[in-house]
Every structure is written in C-alpha cells, then in structure tokens.
Structure 1
Amino acid sequence: MSGSSPFKMRLVHLDLKGAPPKVSYLSEVFPLFHALGANGLLLEYEDMFPYEGHLRLLRAKHAYSPPEIKEILHLATLNELEVIPLVQTFGHMEFVLKHEALAHLREVALFPNTLNPHEAESLALVGAMISQVMELHPGARWLHVGCDEVYYLGEGEASRRWLQQEHNTKARLCLSHMKAVACHVLARHPATRPLVWDDMLRAIPEDQLAASGVPQLVEPVLWDYGADLDVHGKALLMEKYRKCGFLRLWAASAFKGATGASQALTPIEHHLRNNVQWLRVAARGPADMLQGIVLTGWQRYDHFSVLCELLPVGIPSLAVCLQSLLHGGFAEDVKARVENFLGISNLETTDFTGEGAGSFPGSDILALVTHVSLHLRSSVDALLERDRFFSLFKGIILTNPAPPGGLGCWLPWAHLCGSAPRYVTGWFGPYHRRRKLIHPVMVQHIQPPALSLLARWSTVVQELEAALRRVFYPDAVEEWLEENVRPSLQRLQALLQDLREAASASPSPQAGRDP
C-alpha cells in the first residue's frame, strides 16, 4: 500500500472545532480515507470531546458522547486508521479560557488564546484534560499536545516579572512549559510519545534547544501549507532538529482550510503543489528520522473564526494529495485512480467548475456548495446592481450547464431575467426604495424576475440544507447558511418587500420628472 511514499504514516487531520461530522458520516468516509492511502487520523477534538467533572463546561452542545468516541475508534480500527488524539495545552486554548471560571489562567487577561505557564493550576488543568482524553484512547502510541502559535507569550504580568530575571527568555519559558507537559504525559503514559507543532521551536538556537531536554521528550511536527514552501529551508530545519537531539520528525501539509479564513471552495491545485513540495523535502531530509505526514484539514482558523471549507467539499483535494504522496506525484495514472475513487469523470484541479461532483460520500454537498458559492451572490448582484443581468445569466448557463435540478429549471428564469436589464438601478434605487416611490409599470418589470430568482434559489438552498443536516449537527448547518446563503436571499426578500410597499402607496408627482 505504501507505494513509493517516503512517509510511513499518512494521517488525515479532522479539525472538530468547526462543523464536526456526525459519526454516521465518519462511518462512510473512513473506508474512502483508507482506500486513498491514509493509515491514520489526527483527531483534534477541542470542545467536541465529552469532558466530565469540573471540565464538563468545555463541552460543545453537540459534543460526542463516550460511546460515540468508542464507535469512532472502532470504525478507525476497522479501516486500519491509527488514531492520534490532539489536546491543546498552551496556545489555541480559547475553547477553555473563554469560560469565566478559567479566565484567571490566561497569560494575558484580555485574550483567551494562551495559557499562563507560571500557574501550577495551568499544568493541573491540561493534565486533567490529557487524562480524560487518554482514558478513552488506551494504547495510543502518540498524543499531540499542540503548542503552536502561542501568541502573547511573555506579555502577562507574571511573565514580565519572570523575564526580568537574569538568563530568562521567552524561548526558555516556552520550552519549560512544553517540557512540563511532555513529562506529565510520559510519567503517566510511558508508551505514548508526545507530538508538538514546531513553529515555536524554529527560531530557538540549537544549543539552547539541545540543552532544554525537550528533544528527548517530544517529536516535532514541521508544518507549512504554502504552495511554494522553501524545500531547501525545510531540509535545513530538519537537519537542525536532528543536531539538537530529536529522534523522530513529522511533516504537516494541508488538504483544505489553509487558503483563507472564510474560504468556501477548496483550491486543489494549491494543496497539490504543497504536498508535492513536501515530497521534495522528504527526499532531501534525513529519511531515517521522518515518521510520517499529517494532511491537515482546518475547519476554523481558531475557535472564534468563521467556518472554512466543509469536509465533503475538501475530499477531492484530500484524494489528490493522498494519492500523490502515496505514488510520488500526480501523474495521469494517479489522476485516473483519483477519479475512479471519487466517481468523477474528469477531475479539474485548477478551478471550481469541473464536470459533476462525483459519487463519494458528501458529493451532493460539494455540488450544491459549489453552485451556491459561484452563482448565488453574483446572480443577486446582477439583478439588483448591474446593467446587463441577462448577459451574466447567459455566462452562468455556459460555465455551469448542469445545476442541481437540471438546466430546464432555469429556463423560465432566463426568459424573465432577459426582460429586466436596468429597471432596479434605473427606477427603484436607494432613494426611491426608502421613500416607497415607484412607477406602477416598473413593478411589472422588476417583481417577476425577482420572485423567480428567489424561488429558484430557495429550492436549491432547501436541498443543500437537507444534505448538510445528514452530515452535520444543526448549529453547523445554521452557521454555514447564515454566513454563505442568507445575506443574498435577504437582499432579494428586502427588494420584494419594498416593491410591495411601494406598489401599495399612492403615486406621487415627485416620483419622477414629467415627460
């Protein structure tokens, strides 16, 4: 199964802090992950883990239950996917430190992202989180303890006082906490190796890193999601870590969620190039040290940011990246294999307008999200703001000949839209809408295409909502629709409401100029 891949472990990262899939959907996609070449999962639970006792406040509304966690692990085992849980223990602690009961453990009182490393209670907190997670993951060979993007470290009052002492630095402070967390894990779970993201280690001098004792305790995960990542620089960084005493290294690429905080569609070409660059890094680095690669699939940039690409939307990218890592690149035969796995007749990696969306689990979501993302806002903009609505509609038909429901469902809309090229901007602009002024004949020109447009999109959105609810919990569905669909529909609804009110008002001689 490994083909020519230099990565013995190929982990699919599931970022559960946004739009966590239902277990029923995971049961559908785990076999696909395995078939595509994955042999492991990195599960970043965050608030989806069923914390108990004094940590129960960390749970999200739809957090997985302990039986569901066990079912996920069982499904992973059935599909030969080794599970590595991830527990944040330093940075990205928003889901913990946002709670008033734990806010006193923030490094900087105003910001909930970073844990105060000086408080004994801080280590006790992450120790309790680790214990509960490990209790449901007995025998885990690795535990990822995060430690990335520890923003504002050293800026809290306790840290400032500590840094005034001789020889104390932010690097030493970071290493001290990282070491304490790793020692906690190894003392209680000696067969489990801690993993850490490497960004906080990169700039630390070799001698200081080597003397800290951290290299003997953790395995760094070198992450870079750029399409043009510096291969030579990464090879040098791997060599630096080797000299510091690290025994094993991991890489981390991305298959989605790394090209924009509000990205809705996955740019496959970007992620393919990123993963191919990691193949080049692996070819130049110390092969005996490289343990594997994590294909990250971020769902939010942090706990408070909006959702980026949903998991089903990113699956074609995941397939391309996994197969490329497995076979050493994305040649034509690899492309054909991906198309076969996904049920896509002609996979397009350079844009979002490929023919069909495939037959993989969640492919209906991909088709509908693509259609909505590419055409909903632009079609509403065209009706409300642009001068040539019909020419834009013609472009939609030509570039997307098979929308959900078939081409026939759009033909009445095409006819109606063609009759309203300038009426909204010319006769029912902001001034007239506020004052409910309109020439009665203009209602007949504007209202039918607006009603038709709203009806067509409402049908598509109902289908999308039903598809989303099969895969995600209600809060995730509501959030995605609120961010990506409702603003455009509300603009149409507001226009129609203003039309009704203006039509019911008496015409005024001030509504326009006399002929």
Structure 2
Amino acid sequence: MASSPFELRLVHLDLKGAPPKVSYLAEVFPLFHALGANGILLEYEDMFPYDGELKPLCANDAYSTSEIKEILKLANFHELEVIPLIQTFGHMEFVLKHKEFCHLREVAMFPNTVNPHKEESLRLVCTMIDQVVALHGELRWLHIGCDEVYYLGEGKDSKKWLKQGENTIEKLCLAHMKAVASHVISAHPTVKPIVWDDMLRGMNEETLKDSGLAQLTELMIWDYSPDLEVDIKVNLIEKYLKSDFPKLWFASAFKGATGVNQCLTMIGPHLKNHQQWLKVAASIPVGAIQGITLTGWQRYDHLSVLCELLPAGIPSLAVCLQTLKNDSYSEKVKEDVEKLLGISSLEIDTFMSDISGTFPGSEILSLVTQIAFYLKSSVDELLENNRYVTGWFSPYHRKRKKIHPIMIHHFQPDALRLLTKWTAVTQELCTAMEKVFYASAIEEWMEENVQPSLQKLQATVDDLDKAIEALS
C-alpha cells in the first residue's frame, strides 16, 4: 500500500453555521481517526467563549470554556491534533457587524474587512488570538486566516495612505499579515502562524521575499476545484518556495464548495479535487508539504445561508480521507468506506437518492436526502401540474372560495396524503437534528429547505377546507 504524502491530514470544522453539539463531536472524532485524519482545523468564528470586551462576539449557542476543554480532550484522546483558526483580516463579519466594533471596518458600509491602519484593529485581533491560545494548552500552529480580504484599499484611510510615496495594496496587505503573525510569535513563541495564500498569489517573488512574511508564517494553499490545474499549482508552489516559505500546506474540500445553498454532497467533484492535489504533491520537492486540510464549509460567509450539514458530507469526507491515506482511490477504498460507514453502496458521480448508513448522523443524511429529492417536486407536481388543481382550484377560485364539488375528490386525498407524509418526515428530521445541532440551526435549515413547500401545501389544504365550507 502506498503511503500518503501528507503527514498531517486535518478535518476542517467550520463553526460559523450549524455548529455541532459536543456530544456529536464525541461520536464523530473516533470516525475521523478511523478514516485517516490526525488533526482538526477548528474555525471558531462566533462559537468561542470570548470574554471581557470581546463578549459581544459570542453567538447565543457559543461553546462554554468547559465545552472547549471537553472538545480538546476528546480530540487528544482520538489522536487528533487541534489547530484553531481565527480570522484576523477578511471574513470579519462576526466581529464588525457589532456596533462596538463597526468603527474598525475598512469600508464603513461593509463588515467583512478590518481597517489595517487603526492600532485598535490590531489590538482587537491580538486579544482574540490571546484568548483562544490561552484555552488551548500546547499548540504547535495557529491559523490566522487572511483570505478574501475584499475591498482592501477602498477605505478612507487606505486611499489617503496609497497616495503617499510608493505605497501599494500589496504592501498594505503584507504589513497587516506580518503584524498579526509577529504578535503570535512574540506572545506565544512555540506557536507557528498559518495564513491562507490567496492574497499572495498575484505577488511576485521579490515582493514576497522582501516582506519577510516567510520567516513568520507557513502558507496554506487552497483550491477546491475538481479540475485544479496541476502545472499552474506546481509553478505557484515553486514561487512560494523561492520566496523562502519553508513549509506549505494544501487545502482541499470535502463539502461546502459546490453551491452556496447546497443540501447534499456529491462525492465525485470532491474526490477529483483530492486526486489532483495528490498529483501536485507528487510533482514538488519532498519535504515541502507540512500537511493538508480537508475543508468543510458550513457557510460561504457569516451572512450567507447554510450549505450541506456535516452529516451530509461524511460519505464524501470518508472517501477523500481514505484516498489521501492510500495515495489513490480504488475499489478497495470504496469498499473500506462502505464498511466503515455502514453504507451498502456508495454512489460517486451522482447524488445518492436513497441512503442509509450506521455512521453518526446517518439518519439526518437519509431524511435530508428524502426532502432534497422529493419534497418540492411532489408539492409542485400537485399544485402546478395536476389539472384538477390548475383548472378548478386556481388562485382566482381560492380567493373566492369557489370549487366544483365533483373536483374535490380528484385532489383533496393527494393533498392530505402529501401533507401528512411531509409533516411526519419533517418531525422525524427535527428529532434527529436535535441530537446534533442547536435549535437555531434547525430552525434556519427548516425555514430554508422545508417551510416554503410545506407552507404552500398547507395553505392549499386550508383554502380547500374554506371552499368546502362555503359550499354547505
């Protein structure tokens, strides 16, 4: 069996949407380990129990200090090294949306990017870092984010600064990254900062070298595309290595990268993404790679909708981890995954329409699959394609409570049957989700994915009842 080129294989837990309860993490950590993971990239966002002036950052469901300690204990027990991720530049909505911190925005209207000219901005992110590190004991790495720093250079302070001398947006970006990384290293000498690479991709070797960022950080190069271009990636890596970055990380995706409001994860595109990363790893100097993170985004940003829930992405995670662990995908990998997850037959290149498994959260995946495949289509079929509804119970009829008595039995039984069925499935899913998620996540998922169809159906049944009443 070929060995993996990635010594460290981290599963990314994105807590900015549908954060799992600690009891669920206790169930999935052993599975992560069995599948070949040996680390967790824990993106806290607003789920960390920030204290003091940072208290407003905490979500209502934020983990308590004792819960964080429990998560770390569980991770340690299952041989999963934890690397916390804290955004310190872009993706700062969870901080800058609050009135206490909105004056630190780069552009006053937009809560995504912090103003790098204000000392208070740096003080804020350093306080976040210190609070997180303090709760984590022996850390080797800390991810300080810095991806997608949109609108950098477009704030008032930046525009003024950019008019002076040879100032550029590149220098502005690098200066803030360096300031944050320098704080990590001086305040926590045993901890190495990691940064996302996308803001550096367009910079030339000389700019990167002269900045000195390479002496302070390790880069995490991300690309979630199934048709990731190996040659382009290899050239980029060569540039980074020549710019003195000693160690590089890769970041792939096992879910949350194929559609902003996606419910189900198709394995194929994610598997291809990992196969491409394996080709990249085979084409660069041995020893240049520190590890790989399998990202599992839960929202595209703090203010977007939820994408696939963690249980929905587990079959994809399993295939991708096993592929990395074995350095390739094979029929044996597929069989091993089916065994580990208790799934009779994995579909790689289509959405699985009927799925049952024995892994933690498999019931959620099974019910979400039913809803994603059949709820909207069955309701639309009745309300938009049934000739008795469209012909004898149109919006005009409904408004006036008119119905031809003969037509009632042509669609009332179907409407009631559908309503009973989907109400029961929804209730079952709510019960399954309560074991894994907090009420706010369940409410959001239901409002986005279930209520539009269910309410349409319920309103039709109610209108029909009123029309029948008007007949008597």
TM-score range, shorter chain: over 0.9
Give the aligned residue type for 2:428. E
Equivalent residues in 2 for 1:160-179 (5 A)? 160-179=159-178
Match of 1:457 among 395, 403, 422: 422
Aligned 1:135-284 pairs, distance under 5 A: 135-284=134-283
The gaps in structure 2 that reach 5 residues or longer are: none
| 2:84 matched residue in structure 1 | 85
Match of 1:404 in 2: none
Q: Which amino acid aligns with 1:212?
A: S
Q: TM-score, normalised by structure 2?
A: 0.99
Separation of aligned partners in 1, 2:240 and 2:444: 41
Find the residue that maps to 2:70 and give its secondary structure.
helix
CA distance in 1, matches of 2:51, 2:355: 45
CA contact (8 A) 2:253 2:294 kept: yes
The answer as to 2:401 corresponding to 1:436 is yes
1:413 maps to none
Report the equivalent of 1:100.
99
Say if 1:150 and 1:200, in contact at 8 Å, map to a contact too: yes
- 1:356 and 1:267 map into 2 onto residues whose CA distance is 13
Amino acid at match of 1:307: L
Deviation at 1:348, TM superposition (A): 1.0
**Alignment check: 8 A CA contact 1:347 1:355 kept:** no
Q: In the TM superposition, what is the alpha-carbon distance from 1:349 to its structure 2 partner? A: 1.0
Q: Distance in 2 between matches of 1:92 and 1:271?
A: 24
| Whole-angstrom distance in 2 between the partners of 1:86 and 1:308 | 20
Pairwise CA distance, 1:345: 1.5
Aligned residue in 2 for 1:336: 335
Q: Distance in 2 between matches of 1:207 and 1:219?
A: 18
Q: How far, CA to CA, are the matches of 2:230 and 2:327 in structure 1?
A: 16
How far is the alpha carbon of 1:118 from its aligned partner? 0.1
Residue 34 of structure 1 aligns with an amino acid whose one-letter code is H
Q: Could you say which residue in structure 2 is the equivalent of 1:406?
A: none
Shift of 1:157: 0.1
CA distance in 2, matches of 1:243, 1:328: 27
Task: Give the distance between the partners of 1:282 and 1:320, measured in 2 at CA.
Answer: 18
Aligned residue for 1:401? none
Kept in 1: contact 2:355–2:365 (CA 8 A): no
Task: Give the superposition deviation at 1:169.
Answer: 0.4
For residues 74 and 3 of structure 1, do their structure 2 counterparts lie closer, same or farther at Cα, with a shift above 3 Å needed?
Answer: farther
Structure 2 counterpart of 1:418: none
> Which residue matches 2:128?
129
Residues 1:385 and 2:389 aligned together: no
Deviations 1:366-408 (A, max 9, x none): 1000011100000000110114xxxxxxxxxxxxxxxxxxxxx
Point out the more displaced range, 443-452 or 11-20. 443-452
Contact 2:88 2:144 in 1 (8 A): yes
Aligned partner of residue 224 in structure 2, secondary structure: coil
Give the aligned residue type for 1:285. Answer: I
SS in 2 for 1:83: strand
Q: Secondary structure at the match of 1:241?
A: helix
Return the letter of the residue paired with 1:492: L
Counterpart position of 2:322? 323
**Whole-Å Cα distance in 2 between the matches of residues 296 and 386 of structure 1?**
41
1:27 is aligned to 26
**Secondary structure at the residue paired with 1:329?**
coil
Q: Assess if the C-alpha contact under 8 Å between 1:345 and 1:355 holds in 2.
A: no
Matched position secondary structure for 1:278: helix
Which AA in structure 1 matches 2:148? Answer: E
Is the CA contact (8 Å cut-off) linking 2:143 and 2:193 kept in structure 1? yes
| Distance (whole Å) between structure 2 residues aligned to residue 265 and residue 293 of structure 1 | 24
Alignment deviations for residues 330-378 of structure 1 (CA, whole Å, 9 cap, x no partner) = 1011111111110111111111236532100000001000011100000
SS at match of 1:200: helix
For 1:144 and 1:87, locate their aligned partners in 2 and report how far apart those are by CA, in whole Å. 6
Larger gyration radius, structure 1 or structure 2: 1
**From 441, 455, 459, the counterpart of 1:490:** 455
Q: Report the 3-state secondary structure (helix = DSSP H, G, I; strand = E; otherwise coil) of the residue aligned with 1:321.
A: helix
Within 5 Å, give how 1:463-502 maps onto structure 2: 463-502=428-467
Percentage of pairs with the same residue: 64
CA–CA distance in structure 2, aligned partners of residues 473 and 375 of structure 1: 26
Distance 1:6 1:238 in 2: 16
Higher mean C-alpha deviation, range 351-360 or range 185-194? 351-360
Cα contact 2:353–2:373 (8 A) shared by 1: no
State the Cα deviation string for residues 394-448 of structure 1 (Å, max 9, x = none). xxxxxxxxxxxxxxxxxxxxxxxxxxxx210111112212222211222222221
Mark the CA change 1:3 to 1:32 in structure 2 (over 3 Å): closer, same or farther: farther
Classify the secondary structure of the residue corresponding to 1:155: coil
Q: How far is the alpha carbon of 1:106 from its aligned partner?
A: 0.1
* TM-score of the aligned structures, taking structure 1 as reference length: 0.90
Matches of 1:286 and 1:195, distance apart in 2: 20
Which residue identity does 1:112 align to in structure 2? P
CA contact (8 A) 1:348 1:354 kept: no
Equivalent pairs, count:
472
Q: Secondary structure at the match of 2:264?
A: coil
Determine the structure 2 residue equivalent to 1:43. Answer: 42
